[in-house]
Structure 1
């Protein structure tokens, strides 16, 4: 009896499992499910959990990964606006935004087919944008003249427009230029132009430096000339005052020439003997004759 009961329980469990497999499907957090009935999509399920379905043969469930997918287009050669060949490759991050549109567009919701189609569209959009820009927007001695951000945004805008027109159920999350290269035929020409640009920049900086140095030199010369002029004016003023004082004493000296001579010789003697010195001189020579007393005796007479 117990053996029969165990058999019945096991059989019931197996039947329940079989029913669940036939009539229930599970969706994970990172998935979106497309349910088809007789091969035609009837609904999508993007919320995680377990859901009812009709048995196989009537309904089928296709699960698609709705996480971001990454791809790169081939490293291809494109002509720029100034007729230079440029090698570029672009990376793209994309995801399934509308499973109902994506599934019939790419047979069975094939991600491989979607990426193959997307690569073609990316290459076309890239060629269209690169053809609008000169080589200097990609390769330049001055980093400020590079326009990678603008170019990437232009490629992304064209790509999104084409995808929306095709109604493929794809959304572009990010896009960027991964690598650029130059064919050997244009490499030397680019290097020569970069060298010329650097030389032009160096010449400009040198010219600005020389102009600034000349400006500083002229300012210094002007200031020095102004100070010299002020000093010369002050010297003339002092000389004029001295001449005026000397002129005031001139009438007195004209009345008594001997007194004037004594005063001048005394001043010369004072100047000579300011420092401690040993002098050898002729006492008859002026102004040293003042030290002998002969001259003062002569004045007293």
Structure 2
């Protein structure tokens, strides 16, 4: 009776060991195949859950991850049809859909991944070798999203679609499904980059020269039009000025007629204008009142003006009669008090002079 627990424990251990050897679990992200004598038997197990098998070495289980995987190719240079090189990094999305076929071709999963990488590289190089360099890289500088960028993007999408179709056809019997192929990075070697930059620089310089010539031509046109407009304006102004001058001359002629009738008025106005100019600023002037036009400040000057004789120049030399020298009988005179006395004394004859013989 004391050995009963030992027997029960032994039976449980045997049961657990037998269950471990005769069952296996398939996860939802896995597919499995049973192998007997090293060869796959039956269909692939795709349903998740607990599955039964004969214990090893009668049967063995091989499991594969059936989720989508991304195979990123290493970066390498690829030649185009016109002999240019580009640097490419691509990716391929794939998964195992038929584990039995995959296992028959590649018993070890790493071998299958390596074979798939080789297929991708072969198809990629073949497809890019049929394309021109201009289909991959735009040599025309445009704004982002411009026509050249759109055309290049369309070409790259066409290349991706072509590579995907060829990969699907080449891997149809290998138990894998190619879901997508894409270009992750597209670059240029240093030498090609410098050549492209030189080409772009030359294109921009040509465009700049074109714009410069257009600008100079436009500037010349604007300058010519402005000069023509200036000449028209000057001509119109000259005509207007001539007209105004003619009108002014006509008015001045009428004023001259008035001055000819009243010359003393013009002389007086000229004197006033001269004094206005002299006193226009805050200036202290020291002048001789006997000269023109300041003789108007003396009584003789005022008397001459009132008598209609004009403004006399009192500084001019006078003869004994008070007449300005050189003026003759028509000269205007101003009698001075000293001159008047001399005239009176000169006119009176002394008795001695009267008795002298003639």
Normalised by the length of structure 2, the TM-score is 0.62
**Match of residue 62 from structure 1:** 62
Question: Given the alignment of the two structures, is residue 271 of structure 1 paired with residue 270 of structure 2, yes or no?
Answer: no
Q: Which has the higher contact order (CA 8 A, sep 6+)?
A: 1
**Match of residue 33 from structure 1:** 32
- Displacement of 1:140 after TM fit? 5.3
- Displacement of 1:30 after TM fit? 4.0
**CA pair 277-34 structure 1, distance change in 2 beyond 3 A:** farther
8 Å contact kept, 2:33–2:100? no
- Alpha-carbon RMSD: 4.3
**Match of residue 204 from structure 2:** 201
The structure 2 residue matched to 1:247, chosen from 244, 250, 254, is 250
- Displacement of 1:201 after TM fit? 0.8
Runs of at least 5 residues in structure 2 that lack an aligned partner in the other structure: 308-358
Q: Which moved more, 1:135-144 or 1:27-36?
A: 135-144
8 Å contact kept, 1:93–1:173? yes
Please show how residues 219-298 of structure 1 align to structure 2 within 5 Å: 219=222, 226=229, 233=236, 237=240, 240-241=243-244, 243-244=246-247, 247-248=250-251, 250-257=253-260, 258=263, 259-279=265-285, 297-298=303-304
8 Å contact kept, 2:72–2:91? yes
Structure with the bigger percentage of helix: 1
How many matched pairs?
Answer: 292
**CA pair 277-209 structure 1, distance change in 2 beyond 3 A:** farther
- Displacement of 1:285 after TM fit? 6.8
The whole-number CA distance in structure 1 between the counterparts of 2:292 and 2:125 is: 107
SS in 2 for 1:39: strand
The whole-number CA distance in structure 1 between the counterparts of 2:285 and 2:240 is: 37
Residue by residue over 1:75-120, the C-alpha shift from the partner in whole angstroms, topping out at 9 and shown as x without a partner, is: 3552x23333x15343324331513575256333624234324323
Question: Given the alignment of the two structures, is residue 9 of structure 1 paired with residue 8 of structure 2, yes or no?
Answer: yes
Normalised by the length of structure 1, the TM-score is 0.71
**Match of residue 164 from structure 1:** 168
- Displacement of 1:286 after TM fit? 5.9
The whole-number CA distance in structure 2 between the counterparts of 1:293 and 1:218 is: 73
The whole-number CA distance in structure 1 between the counterparts of 2:238 and 2:297 is: 36
The whole-number CA distance in structure 1 between the counterparts of 2:245 and 2:297 is: 29
Runs of at least 5 residues in structure 1 that lack an aligned partner in the other structure: none
**CA pair 76-198 structure 1, distance change in 2 beyond 3 A:** closer
